[in-house]
Chain A
Amino acid sequence: MARHRNIRNQNYDDYDEVDEYGKSYDDTDTFGVSPSTAAQFMYRRDDSSKSLNRFPSLPEGDGPAEEEADEGGHQSYLRRGASHLGSEQVDEGKLQSCIDYIENCTGDVFTRMQLREAVLAANYNAELALRFLLNDESTDKPAMTRSKPPVHQLSKNLENLTVSHDNTGKAFPRIESTPNLKVFDISTTPIPTSPKSNRKNSSTPNSGDHRAQTSTPSNGSPKSHRKNAKGLPRVESQTELPPMSTKTSEMPHRSAAKTTVLYEQRQSSSKPLLNLIVIGHVDAGKSTLIGHLLFLLGKVDAKQMQKFEHEAKKMGKSSFMYAWVLDETGEERSRGVTIDIAQTSFETANRCVNLMDAPGHRDFIPNMITGTATSDVALLVVDATRGEFETGFQSGGQTREHTLLARSLGVTQIVVVVNKMDTVDWSEERYSSIVSTLSPFLKATGYKDGDVSFVPCSGFSGDNLVARPQTEAASWWKGPTLLERIDNFRPPTRQIDKPFRQVISDVFKSVSGGFAVAGKIEAGHVEVGDKVLLMPSATTGTVKSITLDAESHNICFAGDNAILGLTGIDQTDVHIGDIICDPNSPVAVTTRLRGRIALFTPKVPLLAGQECVFHNQSFTESCVVKKLLTQINRNTGEVQKHNPRVLVKNSSGEIELLLQRPVCAELYSASKELGKFLLRDSGTTIAAGVITEIFG
């Protein structure tokens, strides 16, 4: 007891002191970090929200404002960059003098930020930076429209500079310097970060040419530079400049010109890419057709095929052997139905085809939508068997719905594959009757005549897939094979110069550890090492790896179905339907939006309060129709009625939607791909629409 009492009588102040110690530890924790370090890790709310808000409020989403948003990004980036580099005041001084120099030449054409960026990229070489800026100007369209008037004035200022613009796509033209001018010695300026220039530098001294002076490593100030130049004899520096961009992580903003060059490089080295989706009614033979095609193209080896055949036989489904090439999950095999999109790729004579096999069952239309949203062209497979074609085509059949969906999701070219011709003995009559039934329907759906073609074939026997049919009955067919038809698709134009956007359609653990996301790049491009922003969770990460078609790449462009390995983002933050984008021009995020819709033929009309499922790319979420704003005449676009009570089938109108969960959205005017959506309810598609307004 005594001991207990002892404790009671203890001086409690001691404890208090301990507490205070605790506090002071706490304090050091908070204040031990220097303000600059803290700032680096702090999320600047006003900064990013500004750019967030500004972006969606744009009417067109392009031009100056986008650049302004970019600038915001630049600023913070450069501020960081400057503080990082300019820890030595010398650099800061150099930067300033370079900027002054350029401003003397150009006036106010360029923003301060552009100048800084250019100077930093040119490693404090004023002339180099200037030339980069000017050249950039000539190739960069949006920038040009913005600063059009000053350009004339500028070119006057600089007319004694003979800058020969090379429009063949090279970012950096050859430059001839005349003697009466300040001569730039480009080759002597080291640009250490660029590997190419390194090579050049190392070679310059070795060559021991006519240059009197060797490279001066940091002739940052223009004055000293000019002095150097004066000392030189007439120099014709016919050097091709190294690319401006240094390492990507340090320079998130490459000029559009450079991107185009890189893109063209790749385009010239490989065949044009085509994203192809195979659609059609359930059991039309889509998977079998594609499986067989892949087999014939040698994408599946004979041994594996034999294995499939054996296993399929064992399950009593020998006719499914080709479908098993694509239907890999146990569920799909045992039920004999494709459930999810299967992706694969092959090459034709002139095209590199990225092929997706969509499920035909009506329950899996959401899967089909995510696949179709990422494709450019489609193969519509119909079953030639008597009765089967008719069930697929009648109202409620998937031939009809898939075609409509594909059209509203931006697929413009379509090849109708009349499959299972062997079941009707290659009857020409049957073929032409199907063609004549489908043609008017396709036309009514919105496909142009030139964009629709037909081909008869048999997926199971393999006739007319790659080679002409062997059977006598099919001798009437003189047209091309399926493969030739695929080869004839025109590749679409891609939005290479827009800011980077990738829609996530899959998240999984990557083989190399960490996790990877897969999806189609809708706009722009991305390189390994780039910083990217994940929306709507607004977390930033870095691209660790890029995989295209099981091969690792350093860069990928709009149109590619790429797998990105990411670091810095938690896997649980990533959901299907999220968008990875350029941190400098983030995509808008909202739960409320306005859209112009065209109703299909739903069972019940559209009223306010209706709950349906909202599909945008691979994003799906339930939404409520908040308001019906207007009813629009479908043909003229005229407003027929304000605040209509109801929108009946086949009518059009403007509505307001409220989503349960934030969606990444872009206006249709800014992005055709991301600005589209579909509304579905109870297994039927109610309407297709485009986003006309996003509420912040």
Chain B
Amino acid sequence: MKLVNKYIDRDGKGRVKIICEEAEDMWQAYNLIAVGDQIHASTIRKVNQESATGSSNSMRVRTSLTLAVENVEFDTQAGMLRIKGRNMEENDYVKLGAYHTIDLELTRPFTIHKDLWDSVALDRLIFATDVTKHADLAAVVMQEGLANICLITPSMTIVRAKIDITVPRKRKGIVQQHEKGLHKFFDAIIQGILRHIDFSVVKCVILASPGFVKDQLHEYMLQWASKMDERKITDNKSKFVLSHCSSGFKHSVKELLADPNLATRLSETKAAGEVKALDAFYQMMHTDPTRAYYGINHVEKANNSQALELLLVSDELFRSSNVNLRKRYVKLVESAKENGCEVKIFSSMHVSGESLSQLSGIAAVLRFPMPEIEDEEEELNGHPED
């Protein structure tokens, strides 16, 4: 993401002009733009014109509009961001207050105006515009009969293809069917890899599975590629890395991210850090449950005692359309930082972020045990945090 210019007052009001260069940036923009902000961007509007004689014709006009954002939608597969809102500046084609929906486009600048740029938004802006933090990798997690081809970007894990083929199991005397089925399955995976993985962007492709499926696939794929003279694969042979995971389901990706053998390849990926942080939380829950809490009420209480050591927050919470709620989370994060707590903002598009979102979206590891928080839980039973 490129930052074109930035005017932010001392009180936090201001505007930022940015250019999104890839789908990943769209995700960052999605997290920046909140309901109530104003967006100024170039867009295409269908305009109906009526001439003096009464004949009407409609045409598509490219125009720049400023919208008061009412709704933001993100399509993960296409990497598209749609913003719906009312027009704030009248021009020749669009009346004031008319509704319009902008599809934000890559490589075209747009301006975000916020009444308050809080620390979370500013941090994200800094993170998103930092060019060094880029590492794209692909992972194929599989088990016999099931494979998920995922793209892992710094802040997203996107399943590009799910391959589900029933492979006949070995039966006495007829092993050929099993092997034939397996080859069919491998063919489907290879097609998926060729179609969905852009080798010019992706630094490495992790093939992971329990057992020997990964080795079988790797061998089969290289053989197939040299036979078919598929340059895409033969030229990028060195990009394929084999690793172990426990199943072919998407959530096994977190095992890959935590794999020490892959650490050097993954070191720049934000996701790996998230997995580690969440694991630390689970571990603490295991060893000392009075030092690990989740849910906004519990964590806030712990923060009031300046007990937070590690705070995990899902970015989903900051996308909340409820301004007060968002303010509450921002306040918590800011005060935790002041107290020297390490704050990790999880991307809800990663596997670990998904887990955290299910776990109320906020969790913390404490510096010292606070059993009194748990006792208060009984009173809170009536209001489970969602």
The answer to whether A and B interact is yes
A interface residue numbers (CB < 8 A to B):
328-332, 335, 339-344, 361, 363-364, 366, 505-509, 518, 574-576, 603-605, 607-613, 620-622, 624-626, 642-643, 645-646, 648-649, 660, 680-683
- A332: B residues at CB distance < 8 A: 170
In the A-B complex, the 7 residue pairs with the closest CB atoms: A609-B358, A508-B168, A363-B210, A622-B249, A604-B282, A683-B246, A609-B359
**Distance to closest chain A CB from B318 (angstroms):** 18
| B175: contacting residue among A329, A361, A649, CB under 8 A | A329
Cα distance A682–B174 when bound, in Å?
Answer: 32
Assuming the contacts A648-B286, A648-B289, asked whether A609 and B169 have C-beta atoms less than 8 A apart, the reply is no
**Residues A611 and B286 in contact, CB atoms below 8 Å apart:** no
Contact A643 B358, CB 8 Å, known A343-B172, A604-B286: no
Take A361-B211, A682-B255 as given contacts and tell me if A613 and B247 are in contact as well, using a CB distance cutoff of 8 Å: yes
Known: A328-B170, A624-B358. A509 touches B381 (CB 8 A): no
Instruction: Assess the B170–A607 pair: CB atoms within 8 A.
Output: no
Task: Point out the residues of chain A lying under 8 angstroms from B334, CB to CB.
Answer: none
Tell me the complex Cα distance, A104–B268, Å: 85
Residue of B whose beta carbon sits closest to that of A613: B247
- Shortest C-beta distance, A507 to chain B (Å), equals 5
A342–B172 touching, CB < 8 Å: yes
- Chain B residues near A620 (CB-CB < 8 A): 247
* Residues in chain B near residue A344, CB distance under 8 A: 172
Known contacts A622-B251, A643-B381, A646-B285: A611-B166 contact under CB 8 Å = no
B residues 247-267 in Cβ contact with A at 8 Å: 247, 249-252, 255
Within the assembled complex, what's the spacing in Å between the Cα atoms of A681 and B169?
23
- A328-B175, A506-B168, A611-B355 are known; give 11 further A-B pairs, CB within 8 A: A330-B179, A331-B212, A340-B170, A363-B211, A508-B177, A607-B294, A608-B358, A611-B249, A611-B251, A622-B247, A683-B210
Of B174, B289, B355, B381, the contact of A609 (CB 8 Å cutoff): B355
Q: Which residues does chain B contribute within 8 Å of A680, judged by CB atoms?
A: 246-247
Q: List 29 A-B contacts (CB under 8 A).
A: A329-B179, A330-B179, A340-B170, A341-B169, A342-B170, A343-B171, A363-B211, A364-B211, A505-B169, A506-B168, A508-B168, A508-B181, A576-B166, A603-B286, A605-B286, A608-B359, A611-B354, A612-B251, A621-B249, A622-B249, A625-B358, A626-B358, A642-B381, A645-B377, A646-B285, A649-B286, A660-B249, A680-B246, A682-B255
Report chain A residues within 8 Å CB of B212: 331, 335, 339
Closest A residue by C-beta to B216: A331
A506 to B143, CA, bound (A): 16
Name A649's closest neighbour in chain B (CB-CB). B286
B351:A507 contact, CB within 8 angstroms: no
CB distance from B167 to the nearest CB of A (A): 9
Assess the B177–A604 pair: CB atoms within 8 A.
no
Smallest CB separation, A573 vs chain B (Å):
10
**Closest residue of B by beta carbon distance from A363:** B210
Q: Which of B168, B246, B354 has the most CB of A within 10 A?
A: B246
Closest chain-B Cβ to A333's Cβ sits at a distance in Å of 10
A607 touching B282 by the CB < 8 A rule?
yes
Interfacial chain B residues near A339, Cβ < 8 Å: 211-212
Which of chain A's residues has its CB closest to B255's CB? A682
A610-B355 CB under 8 A given contacts A330-B179, A648-B289: yes
Nearest Cβ in chain B — how far from A31, in angstroms?
Answer: 40
- A624 — which chain B residues lie within 8 A by C-beta? 358
Q: Which B residues, 232 to 286, have Cβ-Cβ distances below 8 Å to chain A?
A: 244, 246-247, 249-252, 255, 279, 282-283, 285-286
In the complex, what residues of A have CB within 8 A of residue B170's CB?
328-329, 332, 340, 342
> Across the interface, which residues of A come within 8 angstroms of B174, CB to CB?
508
The interface residues of chain B lying within 8 Å CB-to-CB of A605 are 282, 285-286, 289
Does B356 have its Cβ within 8 Å of any Cβ on chain A?
yes
Which residues of chain A are within 8 angstroms of B84 by Cβ–Cβ distance? Answer: none
In the complex, what residues of A have CB within 8 A of residue B175's CB?
Answer: 328-330
Contacts of A340 in B (CB 8 A): 169-170
- Are B286 and A607 in contact, with the CB atoms below 8 A? no
Contact (Cβ within 8 A) B249 A613: yes
- Contact across chains for A576 and B145 when beta carbons are under 8 A apart: yes
CB distance from A563 to the nearest CB of B (A): 9
Number of interface residues of B (CB under 8 A): 47
Residues 282-341 of B at the A interface (beta carbon under 8 Å)? 282-283, 285-286, 289, 293-294
Counted as pairs of residues, one from A and one from B, with CB atoms less than 8 Å apart, the total is 118
In the complex, A507 Cα to B184 Cα: how many Å?
Answer: 15
Bound complex: CA A612 to CA B251 (Å): 8
- Chain B residue at smallest Cβ distance from A515: B168
| Given known A-B contacts A506-B168, A607-B359, A643-B381, A622 and B250 have beta carbons under 8 A apart | yes
Interface check B384, CB cutoff 8 A: yes
Kindly state whether residue B178 has any CB partner on chain A within 8 Å: yes
Does the CB pair B247–A366 fall under 8 Å? yes
CB distance from A626 to the nearest CB of B (A): 7
Bound Cα distance A574, B168 (Å): 12
Is there an interface contact between A611 and B171, defined as CB atoms closer than 8 Å?
A: no
How long is the Cα–Cα vector from A186 to B174 in the complex, in angstroms?
A: 52
CB <8 Å contact, B358 and A509: no
Q: A625 to nearest B CB, angstroms?
A: 8
- B347 adjacent to chain A (CB < 8 Å): no
B385 to chain A, nearest CB (A): 10
B374 close to A (CB within 8 Å): yes
With a 10 A CB-CB cut-off, give which of A328, A609, A610 has the most chain B CB atoms. Answer: A609
- Interface pair B172/A609, CB less than 8 Å apart: no
In this complex, the member of B164, B179, B251 whose beta carbon has the largest number of chain A beta carbons within 10 angstroms is B251
Complex alpha-carbon distance, A621 and B145, angstroms: 12
Are B282's CB and A645's CB within 8 A?
A: no
Beta-carbon contact of A645 and B294 below 8 Å: yes
Given known contacts A605-B282, A609-B359, is B171 in contact with A508 (CB within 8 Å)? yes
CB distance from A175 to the nearest CB of B (A): 49
Judging by beta carbons under 8 Å apart, are B285 and A604 in contact?
yes
B residues less than 8 Å from A607 (CB atoms): 282, 285, 294, 359
User: Complex: how many Å from CA A467 to CA B174?
Assistant: 32
Would A681 and B166 be within 8 Å (CB), given that A366-B143, A643-B384 are in contact? no
Q: Report the separation of the CA atoms of residues A508 and B170 in the bound assembly, to the nearest whole angstrom.
A: 10
Q: Is B357 an interface residue (CB 8 A)?
A: yes
**In whole Å, how far is A30's beta carbon from the nearest beta carbon of chain B?**
35
Question: Is the beta-carbon distance between B246 and A681 smaller than 8 angstroms?
Answer: yes
Cβ of B250 to closest chain A Cβ, rounded Å: 7
Task: Tell whether, in the assembled complex, residue B169 and residue A682 are in contact, meaning their CB atoms are under 8 Å apart.
Answer: no
Smallest CB–CB gap between B350 and chain A, Å? Answer: 12
Query: In the assembled complex, how far is the CB of residue B325 from the closest CB belonging to chain A, in whole angstroms?
Result: 20
A-side contacts of B255, CB under 8 Å = 682
| Cα distance A576–B174 in the bound complex, in angstroms | 18
Q: Flag B127-152 by CB within 8 Å of A: 1 or 0 each.
A: 00000000000000001010000000
Which chain B residues lie closer than 8 Å to A518 at the CB level?
171
Q: Which residues of B contact A648 (CB under 8 A)?
A: 286, 289
Name the B residues within 8 Å of A604 (CB-CB): 279, 282-283, 285-286
Known: A335-B212, A604-B285. A609 touches B166 (CB 8 A): no
Q: Once the chains bind, are A364 and B210 in contact (CB under 8 Å)?
A: yes
On whether A646 and B247 interact (CB within 8 A), knowing A508-B168, A605-B282, A607-B282, the answer reads no
Question: Which residues of chain A are near B294, meaning CB under 8 Å?
Answer: 607, 645
Q: Determine how close the nearest CB of chain A comes to the CB of B143; give it in whole angstroms.
A: 7
- Among B244, B247, B286, B289, point to the contact of A645 (Cβ < 8 A): B289
Q: Chain A residues near B211 (CB, 8 Å)?
A: 339, 361, 363-364
B246 contacts A682, CB within 8 Å? Answer: yes
> Which of chain A's residues have a CB closer than 8 A to the CB of B279?
604
Interface residues of B in 144-196 (CB under 8 A from A): 145, 164, 166, 168-172, 174-175, 177-179, 181
Could you say which residues of chain A place their CB within 8 Å of the CB of B164? 575
| Alpha-carbon distance between A124 and B294 when the two chains are bound, in angstroms | 71
Cα-based distance from A648 to B216 in the complex (angstroms)? 38
CA A607 – CA B359 in complex, angstroms? 7
In chain A, what residue has the closest Cβ to B363? A607
Report the Cα distance A607→B360, complex, angstroms.
Answer: 11
Q: Which residues of A contact B247 (CB under 8 A)?
A: 366, 613, 620, 622, 680
